């Protein structure tokens, strides 16, 4: 069904891993169901991009302790991904190369940001690296992945969603599928990172 495009990488491609942080994995404060299952396919994608000398970006939710999205402040989410905490760290099993470009988002108390493009320098970094096609996986399908994919399309990039490397929060059942539909309607293509060889 979803073709493994990772055998067909070319100049202008980049990998963007969205928010694969401890708080979004099982045991974390805002655990995405089966969120840990994205790690293995993402490691496969990392290997493919690294071996092809193509750039790898990793976004992270990077909130101050009094962030406006937190319940104690009247927000909708439990406290999560507080900058410097274990919960904010990338998953241990995720094998990010040393030259991964880290993009921190929603870093100030009064603003939330789901998209990795929102008030970050990601667009400029991608432009500087000559990126025209972005492969995206991570957490969560129905929030930060969706917002990032839609912003990537709006910025004129080709976007490939790695279906086996995303998982949804599903506050309402079906949110994940609806998010994928929205991304496809915006011109994103779906593919698979494939199983380890
Ligand atoms: C996210 C909810 C709150 C995400 C971040 O990364 O999808 N979701 N903050
Ligand atoms: Zn957040």
The tens digit of pLDDT for each residue in 85-128 reads 999 999 999 999 999 999 999 999 999 999 999 999 999 999 99
Whether 105 is catalytic is yes
Task: For residue 85, give the nearest of 171, 24, 142 by alpha carbon.
Answer: 24
CA of 7 to the centre of ligand 2 (A): 33
Query: Per DSSP, what are the bridge partners of residue 90?
Result: 21
What pLDDT is stored for residue 195 in this prediction?
A: 62
Q: How confident is the model at residue 7 (pLDDT cuts 50, 70, 90)?
A: confident
Among 18, 20, 30, 83, say which to mutate for ligand 1: greatest number of ligand atoms within 8 Å of CB: 30
Across 168-180, average pLDDT:
97
Which three-class secondary structure state does DSSP give residue 148? Answer: helix
b/e sequence 148-177, b meaning 16+ C-beta within 10 Å: bbbbbbeeebbbbbbbbbbbbbbeeeebbe
Place of tokens 């293995």: 40
Secondary element (H or E) of residue 123 = helix 122-128
**How many residues are there in the chain?**
197
Show Cβ contacts of residue 17 under 8 Å, excluding neighbours closer than 6 positions.
42, 46, 56, 57, 58, 59, 94, 96, 136, 137, 138
* pTM of the complete model: 0.96
CA of 81 to the centre of ligand 1 (A): 9
CA of 143 to the centre of ligand 1 (A): 6
For the chain, what are the domain ranges?
13-191
- Is it the case that residue 58 has pLDDT exceeding 70? yes
Arch. (CATH architecture) of 13-191: 3-Layer(aba) Sandwich (3.40)
How many angstroms separate the CA atoms of 85 and 31, rounded?
15
Q: How confident is the model at residue 194 (pLDDT cuts 50, 70, 90)?
A: confident
- Is it the case that residue 1 has pLDDT exceeding 60? no
What pLDDT is stored for residue 197 in this prediction?
A: 44
Which one has a higher pLDDT value, 112 or 197?
Answer: 112
Across 125-142, average pLDDT:
98
Q: How confident is the model at residue 8 (pLDDT cuts 50, 70, 90)?
A: confident
Across 30-55, average pLDDT:
97
Instruction: Report pLDDT digits (tens) over 175-190.
Output: 999 999 999 999 999 9
DSSP 28-75: STTPPTTGGGGHHHHHHHHHHHHHTT--EEEEEE-B-TT-TTBGGGT-
């Amino acid at each position: 069904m979803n073709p493994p495009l990772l055998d067909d990488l070319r100049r202008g491609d980049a990998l963007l891993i969205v928010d694969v942080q401890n708080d979004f994995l099982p045991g974390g404060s805002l655990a995405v169901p089966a969120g840990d299952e994205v790690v293995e396919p993402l490691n496969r994608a990392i290997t493919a991009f690294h071996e092809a000398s193509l750039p790898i970006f990793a976004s992270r939710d990077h909130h101050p302790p009094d962030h406006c999205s937190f319940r104690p402040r009247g927000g909708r989410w439990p406290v999560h991904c507080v900058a410097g905490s274990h919960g904010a760290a990338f998953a241990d099993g995720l094998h990010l190369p040393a030259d991964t470009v880290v993009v921190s988002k929603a870093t100030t108390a009064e603003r939330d940001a789901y998209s990795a493009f929102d008030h970050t320098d990601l667009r400029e970094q991608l432009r500087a690296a000559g990126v025209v096609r972005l492969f995206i996986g991570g957490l969560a399908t129905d929030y930060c992945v969706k917002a990032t994919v839609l912003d990537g399309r709006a910025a004129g990039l080709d976007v490939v969603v790695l279906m086996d490397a995303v998982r949804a929060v599903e506050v309402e059942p079906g949110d994940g599928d609806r998010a994928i539909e929205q991304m496809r309607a915006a011109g994103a293509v779906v593919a698979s990172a494939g199983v380890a060889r």
